[in-house]
Structure formats: structure tokens, C-alpha cells
Amino acid sequence: MRKKLSNFIHGMALPNGDFAEQKFRYFTLIGVIALIIVTIGNIIIREDPVEIIALILTEIAAPLVMLISIRKKKIQVGAILIALGMIFFILPIAFFFGGGLEGCIVSWYVFSYLFIGLILEGKQRTFLLVLLTVSVVISYALAYFWPDLVYHHDRSVWYMDSLLSVLVVSYTVYLMVVFQNQLFIQENRRTQQQAVEIEALNRSQNRFFSSMSHEIRTPINTIIGLNEMILREEVSDEVAEDARNIQSASRMLLSLINDILDMSKMESGKMEIVRVPYDTGKMLSELVNMIWGRANEKGLKFAIDVDPYLPAQLFSDEVRIKQILINLLNNAVKYTEKGEVSLSIHCRRAANGRVVVIYQVEDTGMGIRSESIPYLFDAFKRVDEEKNRYIEGTGLGLSIVKQLVELLGGEISVSSVYTKGSTFTVSIEQETVDDAVIGQFSPQKYHGDHSRSYYQQQFEAPDAKVLIVDDNKANLMVASKLLRDTKVQIDTVESGEQCLKLTAQKHYDAIFMDHMMPEMDGVECFRRIREQTGGMCKNTPVIVLTANADGENRALYKREGFDAYLVKPVEGAALEETLKSLLPKELMTGSDSTVAAYGSDAVVRQIRRKAAIMITTDSVADLPEELVRSMNIRVLPYRVVTKDGIFDDGTEAKGDAILRYLADDKVAARSESPEVSDYEEFFAKELTNAQYLLHVAMAKKSSRGFANASEAALSFYNVKVIDSGHLSSGMGLMVMEAVKEAENHSQDTDMLGKNLAALKDAIQTSFIVDNTEYLTRNGRLSPWLNKLCTALMIHPVIVMKDSEMTVGGIIFGSGKRARQKYIHKALRGVSNVDTDTLFITHAGISGEELAQIRNEVETIMKFEHVYVQQASPAISINCGPGSFGLIFRRRYQHEG
């Protein structure tokens, strides 16, 4: 039965018809067939003629509506019409003429719910289900209250009608469910098949890209190789210029092909990561050699800074890391017109013997608008179309870089100040090989760049015998020419077979082997050379020359035991370099002239070492100059806004000067935090001195400083802003603690932040206000309270509580007595005072008075360091002359 049903469905199935249409067609037909059976039954048992006519009308109308709506591609409309017909026509007639509850109706209600539920979708379905429910309830209610509305039958007719309907509807429902199930299975199968087809398409697309890349590389190999030969010759300047243009165009083409291939691999998840031990110094040298020439050509400086503790060897995918860095460095050069491009490399020990290497590529170029940063790593998107109109590139690079970084388990971020420059930071955790570190990095010179003036042959080996195997004649010619200056004796063959013939008779000192060759490929040929009975080259180094160096192949070459591999198009220097490393030393003459090639003026300058972490703060931290200098704290000034201009807090406007200015009570002044853009600029500048900034901000409820700095910090991955919870020297104390903590936890900034947050409660910031008038002027005290305070000689003591300034107490008395009382209260009222540091921060207090204050403090407690500090305008404006505060910290429990 099931099988027949399934065949029937297959027979009826529209080859490409959609799921909804098939369902509509089947279910309407099943319903109509059921109705026809019931109609025949009703005629036999002599049901009410009205009901019979209604049934016949429905049996004609429903299929018609169905066919028309399918033809007009309006299935939902057709289904709605049929459902409406059920609700308003056939169901009420069947209810009232079919004998109400005792007739067939209950089963037909169930059928109707199922029909609407399965055929309709979305809001229409809900609406019609509600409509049907209303119609059912109304019919029941009418029958209940007015039983006469219901047509009465004989008992036998009722029973027969009901039995017939139950059977027909039940089978119908059964069929509908089975159909639904079958359709579902069918649909599922179709989806699976589509997935298989997509996968196959994907694979063939990949194969296509890969073979395209292989095919395109071969002619580019010829172009680049022969062009290099032209550049080596003594040709006219014009020819040399043309050759250089050919060189840069072919490199561009090559990088485009590489990008497209990488992108296609990424998309199909085929990008492989091959981790091997590699030499960090060598890799960095190669990078330097590649980039400095390009930077030089544009008149840019190139600087590199390498952490001396970087392990000399690491275990990761060297090729991909190099690809990432080359991409970032190329962009830096490309998007910078003047100034400098730099690469800095630092590392941090991670768990289980690994290190996190942080690579930072910085430029002084055009920068990136902050609104473009979120799209920066999206493929096919040039973030600044307008400005970059004349710059070549596809916008694939950064997307590939990001995906590679993620495949390597690392992170990438960017911080950029538009028009000033960008910094890309990549961090990748890598395994270490041993404990050796790189020490002072001095790049070895490689012939990475081959413009005419730089070519210098690396060695000569006239007695060395080299065999080159490649099925492509052009490739053979290019490789031979590129090696010409080394004077090695070269034989070339076009197949694996010919190669084996030669290796059986003649000893070679090195063999260059193409990978993809018809009949016998390079890998097979290599195996046979190694196993060749009586072979003369069983131990000869074999170098694969390949046009497809993806992860899979790289792993294969390593596994097979090739001595090296070179990717086509190959440049002369790379060929020489590899050969030089594999040929027996005694065969080589001419020397290592490589260092001389660039002359003695080192192109690579060691840039200033950046601090791992630096503490920054705002001028309102009220720290003495000498501390700021000795602790290397960077300070951003707040602003003092007056009618006569805006001044930088601390430098342009000092606290006392402001107080003198304010002595004239017709003027006003207020202190304002820097804007978000000021913070951005400040952070960007300071990040040239440190890898990480921790900015200590003024109590967040006392100024906009914290909010503005936090907003600015969002543009940088390596800036953290903390709420000091204090102001003035209380904030300064927090800054000093931050400097100390940073020395201990420079690698763990989360810990650092946590420790500082715990310190907030330990710092005691309070000020005694001599004259409440200033508080009144700034709206912090009402005029009548001011009058009361002045009349009663009341001095409020301002303290910090939960990051907020509040009045912590009041002191009565004349100036001098009040000061004494405050000192006693401030020092004695606190347990566990840390007697290391005390700030006496003041506004408009004479030297004599300050000496008295110091003496008074000493009678109570001796502090190791006492700083007498003039308060910044921010404090002076609020507290007025004659105010001062004792600021220190408590020791907290676990500090002992």
C-alpha cells in the first residue's frame, strides 16, 4: 500500500513543482474524492437534498478553483477561497441539514482544521483557523439555543451518515498525513542531492582555480624570469625602465592570482595550515629584504623593532605568517605617501611553553575612517573608494589576512587615526622549539628585490653539475638562464623518464624537479631516484619547483623528503640561494658578497623600544612634575574655560593664577574634560611609545573625562580606561599605584585592572573648603547655605564616595583652628594609614600656612614622602582659595 502510494505520488509529482503546489493539489483532490464517496452514501441513505446539492456543488467548485489558481500561480488565493467555501458554505449546511452533532459534522470539522493547517501559511492560516473556530462555536451555539434550526433525521440515517463520514474522513486524514510525510521525504532527498551537487560544483570550481593558477603561473614564470635577465644586462635606461614596469605588472598579476586562489580555498574550507619549526630571524630577514626596497622606492623609511626575547625558532605555519605580514606591510607602503612604515615584533609567554607573538605593522599614511573599520576585513570592499580610486588592488587582501590569522588561532585588530596613519596588530600563539632567543636582531641580507641595481650573483660553482627536470621548455630555459651567472653546469630534461636515464649514469650535485608532469610526476620521479639501483644520484639534494604550493603540497614535499621547494614563478636570487645552501661548499668559489650588496649603510634602523604598558592620565590628577617625569606618566590636560578664552589646565592656566583671576567676582571659570577626539589623538600618539595604555580617569561621576576617554578607547584594541574613583591627588595616588602594579603585571592587564579597582576604597581623598563662596558660584551650594556657613564659620569637608564628591562633614571655627581640626580628623579617623606617601594638595595657601600644616601633620603621623602640591584649576575653581586636602591611602587587609 505504502509503495503504491509512493509510486502514485511520484507519478503525480511535478518534476520541478514546488512543495506547496504539490500539497495543495493532492489535498484538494483527496478531499474532493472523500466528498464524492460521502455524497454517494448520502444519496443511498436519502440524506437531505439540500446537503446533497451543496456537496455536489463543492465537488465541482473546489477542483475548479484549484486548477485556476495553480494555472495563475496563485495557490494561496485558491486555498483561501476553498477554505472560505468550507467555513461559510459546506460546513454550516452539513451541520444544520446533516442533523447537527449527531450527523457527520464532527469528522468534517477535523478535516477542515487539517486542510487549513497544512495548506495555508503565515497570517492567512491563523486568520482562517480563527474564522473556522468562530463558525464552529456559532453553529454549536445556534444548535444549542435553537434546536429547531437543526434538521432532524431518522436514527438510521444519522448513524449511517456519521459512520460513513468517520470512515471516509479518517482515511482521508490518514492519506493526507502519509502524503505529507512522503512529500517531506522527497523534498529532503532533493535537498540532499542539491547539497551533493553544490559540493561537486565547489570541488570542480576549486580544481578549475587551481589548474588556472598553475597554467597562468607557467607563462608568468617565463615573463618574470626573462625580464630579470634583461635587468641583469647592461641595457639602456629606457629598456631598464620598461623591464622594471614589466616586473611590477607581472608581480601584481601574480599576487592577484594568489589572492583569487586563496579566496576560493578559504570559501571551500580547503585552506590548509602546515605547522613546521622555522627560524624567526630568517623569516624576518626575508620580510625586511622584501619590504625595505619597496618602501625606499616610495621614499619612505622602513623600521623594524624585534623583541630580543623572541624565540629563535618557533613552530607554526611560517608561509602563512609571512603571507599575513607581507600583505599588511605592502598595504602600509601602498597607502602611505610620506613618513615611515614600521614592523615591531614582541612576544609574551603563554601557558604550556607557548608564546604569543605580537606583530605590529604601523604606518604614517592616509589612515582609515573609523566608520570604515568594521568593513575593513570584508572581501571585495575598498573602504575608501573615493580616495583610493587611483590605487590598484582588489580588496581581497585583508579578508584573506583575517581568515589566515583565524586559521592560525590568532587575532587581528586595527587602530587608525584618519589622515595620520594606521596600526595593524596580529597576535598568534605559537609553540616554542627550545629556549634559544633571537637576541639583538640584525637582518641578514637576501636578494629579495631584483630591480636592476640590486642584482648581485651570490656564488660561482663552475664544477657543480645541476639537472633541471620540467615538461615545459620555457621553464627549463628560464631556470637555466637564471642560473647562468653561477656558472654551474646545467643539464635539462623534459620528463621523469629522461631524468632517470641521466641519473643512472651521471652524478649531479643538485636536481631541480617540476612537480606536475604528464606520465611520471615529480614526486614519483623523486622516489625512483632515491631507490634507483646503481643510481648515481641517490643522495643528491632534490628541490621541487612547483606551481602549486598550497598547504597540502607543502606537507607532501616535506613528507616525501625533498630537500627544499621553490614556488614558480621563481626569481634568480631564490634559485641561487637554495642552490647555495645545498651544494657542497668545496664546489663554490666567489664568496659571500651578499652583505656588501647593500653597502654598509644599514637600511634597517632599530626603532625605539616600546614600553609594554604605559600609564596615562589627565592633568587633574595633581601630581608633582618630578613624579610625572620619573614615572614616565603621560598627561592630557583638562581645559579651563573662561570668558577670556580656553586654556590648557596646568600648563597654560595654573591653579593660583585662576584664583587670582576669579578674585574678581564678575568673572567665572569652569573646568572641562577633553573631548573624545582629544583623547583619540592623545592615545594614538602615546601608542607610538607603548604597546598598551592604561588611562586613569577622574571619578566618573565628577566629570565627563571617563566617558569621553572610554569612547575614544573603543577605537583602539590596546587602550583601557579605568575610573580612579577620585580626583586631584587622590586620582594621582591611583596613577602612582597603577605604575607600580604595571611593573608587576604588565602581561596581565585584566589582573592589573582588577587590582586597581580594589584600591579605590583604600585611597582617602578629602578637602577642607575655607570659603564656600566658590562652591556657591559653581552651583554646588545654595546662596543661603553659603551665607549660613560664612556667618557660623562653617567649613565643609569634601570627600569622595562611590566616585562622587559629597560633603563628608563640617568643621566649625576660624581658619587656623579649622585646619588643625581637619588634619586631626583626617589622619586619626582612619585606621591602617599607609605612611609611605602623603599629598598636601592646596589652592591659594601661603607658604607659611603650608609649613604650619606640615608641622601639624608631623605631630600626628610621620610619612616617608610628603608632596606639597598645588591643586589644578579644576579643584581651585570649585574649592576656592584657602582650601587644601590631605590625601593618602590605607593598607588593606591582604596587603598586611
Tell which one of 365, 443, 844, 885 touches ligand ADP (CB under 6 A). Answer: 365
3-state class percentages of the chain: helix first, strand second, coil last, to nearest 5: 55, 20, 30
Within a 10 A sphere around the Cβ of 568, how many other Cβ atoms? 25
Q: How far is the CB of 418 from ligand ADP (least distance, A)?
A: 9
Nearest CB to ligand ADP, comparing residues 365 and 522: 365
Closest among 305, 311, 310 to 344, alpha carbons compared: 305
Give the separation between CA 45 and CA 256, rounded to whole angstroms. Answer: 83
Nearest CB to ligand ADP, comparing residues 255 and 498: 255
Long-range contacts of 134-141 (CB under 8 A, 24+ apart): 135/87, 135/88, 135/91, 135/92, 136/91, 136/109, 139/91, 139/92, 139/95, 139/96, 139/105, 140/101
Give the separation between CA 540 and CA 519, rounded to whole angstroms. Answer: 23
Stretch of 379-387, 500-508, 557-565, 572-580 lying at the interface with ligand ADP (CB under 6 A): 379-387
Residues 6+ apart with CB under 8 A from 668: 642, 643, 662, 777
Nearest CB to ligand ADP, comparing residues 398 and 549: 398
One DSSP character per residue, 216-270 reads HHHHHHHHHHHHHHHHHS---HHHHHHHHHHHHHHHHHHHHHHHHHHHHHHHTT-
Tell which one of 99, 397, 725, 732 touches ligand ADP (CB under 6 A). Answer: 397
Stretch of 146-154, 359-367, 525-533, 704-712 lying at the interface with ligand ADP (CB under 6 A): 359-367
Q: Is 291 in the site for ligand ADP (CB under 6 A)?
A: no
Give the separation between CA 737 and CA 726, rounded to whole angstroms. Answer: 13
Q: How far is the CB of 388 from ligand ADP (least distance, A)?
A: 5
Nearest CB to ligand ADP, comparing residues 376 and 627: 376
| Phi and psi, residue 301, nearest 5° | -85, 150
Stretch of 291-299, 386-394, 545-553, 829-837 lying at the interface with ligand ADP (CB under 6 A): 386-394
Q: How far is the CB of 396 from ligand ADP (least distance, A)?
A: 6
Tell which one of 66, 398, 404, 781 touches ligand ADP (CB under 6 A). Answer: 398
| DSSP H stretches of helix in 443-521 | 473-482, 496-505
Q: Cβ-count burial of 518 within 10 angstroms (0-12 exposed, 13-18 middle, 19+ buried)?
A: exposed
Name the residue whose CB lies closest to ligand ADP: 393
Stretch of 343-351, 377-385, 447-455, 563-571 lying at the interface with ligand ADP (CB under 6 A): 377-385
Q: Cβ-count burial of 663 within 10 angstroms (0-12 exposed, 13-18 middle, 19+ buried)?
A: exposed
Would you say 20 and 75 are in contact if contact means Cβ atoms under 8 Å apart?
yes
Stretch of 287-295, 392-400, 614-622, 823-831 lying at the interface with ligand ADP (CB under 6 A): 392-400
Residue 640, H or E segment: strand 639-642
What is the size of the binding site for ligand ADP (CB under 6 A)?
Answer: 21
Q: Is 690 in the site for ligand ADP (CB under 6 A)?
A: no
Q: How far is the CB of 718 from ligand ADP (least distance, A)?
A: 17
Q: Is 363 in the site for ligand ADP (CB under 6 A)?
A: yes
Q: How far is the CB of 402 from ligand ADP (least distance, A)?
A: 9
Q: Is 383 in the site for ligand ADP (CB under 6 A)?
A: yes
Q: How far is the CB of 318 from ligand ADP (least distance, A)?
A: 21
Q: Which residue has the cell 600644616?
A: 853
Q: Cβ-count burial of 164 within 10 angstroms (0-12 exposed, 13-18 middle, 19+ buried)?
A: buried
Q: How far is the CB of 419 from ligand ADP (least distance, A)?
A: 10
Stretch of 9-17, 22-30, 397-405, 802-810 lying at the interface with ligand ADP (CB under 6 A): 397-405
Give the separation between CA 30 and CA 143, rounded to whole angstroms. Answer: 30
Give the separation between CA 371 and CA 819, rounded to whole angstroms. Answer: 54
Tell which one of 394, 456, 778, 803 touches ligand ADP (CB under 6 A). Answer: 394
Tell which one of 261, 314, 376, 658 touches ligand ADP (CB under 6 A). Answer: 376
| Phi and psi, residue 177, nearest 5° | -65, -45
Nearest CB to ligand ADP, comparing residues 31 and 397: 397
Binding mask 4-43 for ligand ADP (x = CB under 6 A): ----------------------------------------
| Residues in region 294-313 near ligand ADP by CB under 6 A | none
Tell which one of 384, 431, 463, 521 touches ligand ADP (CB under 6 A). Answer: 384
Nearest CB to ligand ADP, comparing residues 399 and 403: 399
Nearest CB to ligand ADP, comparing residues 343 and 466: 343
Residues 6+ apart with CB under 8 A from 130: none
Q: Is 258 in the site for ligand ADP (CB under 6 A)?
A: no
Nearest CB to ligand ADP, comparing residues 368 and 405: 368
Nearest CB to ligand ADP, comparing residues 372 and 442: 372
Give the separation between CA 121 and CA 233, rounded to whole angstroms. Answer: 77
Nearest CB to ligand ADP, comparing residues 347 and 405: 405
| Residues in region 401-460 near ligand ADP by CB under 6 A | 422
| Phi and psi, residue 337, nearest 5° | -95, -35
Nearest CB to ligand ADP, comparing residues 358 and 383: 383
Nearest CB to ligand ADP, comparing residues 300 and 525: 300
Give the separation between CA 527 and CA 380, rounded to whole angstroms. Answer: 43
In whole angstroms, how far apart are CA 45 and each of 31, 39, 164? 21, 10, 10
Nearest CB to ligand ADP, comparing residues 337 and 625: 337
Nearest CB to ligand ADP, comparing residues 267 and 463: 267
Q: How far is the CB of 327 from ligand ADP (least distance, A)?
A: 6
| E strands present in 78-181 | none
Q: Is 102 in the site for ligand ADP (CB under 6 A)?
A: no
Q: Is 366 in the site for ligand ADP (CB under 6 A)?
A: yes
Q: Is 382 in the site for ligand ADP (CB under 6 A)?
A: yes
Q: How far is the CB of 374 from ligand ADP (least distance, A)?
A: 12
Is the previous residue joined to 569 through a cis bond, with omega within 30 degrees of 0? Answer: yes
| Residues in region 472-491 near ligand ADP by CB under 6 A | none
Stretch of 342-350, 375-383, 585-593, 697-705 lying at the interface with ligand ADP (CB under 6 A): 375-383
Nearest CB to ligand ADP, comparing residues 394 and 755: 394
Nearest CB to ligand ADP, comparing residues 339 and 624: 339
Residues 6+ apart with CB under 8 A from 22: 12, 13, 14, 183
Nearest CB to ligand ADP, comparing residues 137 and 252: 252
Relative orientation angle of helices 572-582 and 155-232, to the nearest 10 degrees: 80
Q: How far is the CB of 713 from ligand ADP (least distance, A)?
A: 21
Would you say 513 and 526 are in contact if contact means Cβ atoms under 8 Å apart?
yes
| Residues in region 697-756 near ligand ADP by CB under 6 A | none
| Residues in region 317-336 near ligand ADP by CB under 6 A | 331-332, 335
Q: Check the CA dihedral 585-589-592-598 and report its sign.
A: negative
Q: Is 388 in the site for ligand ADP (CB under 6 A)?
A: yes
Q: Look up residue 47 and give its DSSP letter.
A: -
Q: Which three cell numbers stand for residue 813?
A: 571655627
Q: 611-634 burial string, b = 16+ CB within 10 Å, else e?
A: bbbbbbbbbbbbbeeebbeeeebb
* Beta pairing class for 883-890 and 833-843: antiparallel
Tell which one of 93, 368, 693, 840 touches ligand ADP (CB under 6 A). Answer: 368
Q: Which residue has the cell 596615562?
A: 616
Binding site for ligand ADP (CB under 6 A): 331-332, 335, 363, 365-368, 376, 382-384, 388, 393-399, 422
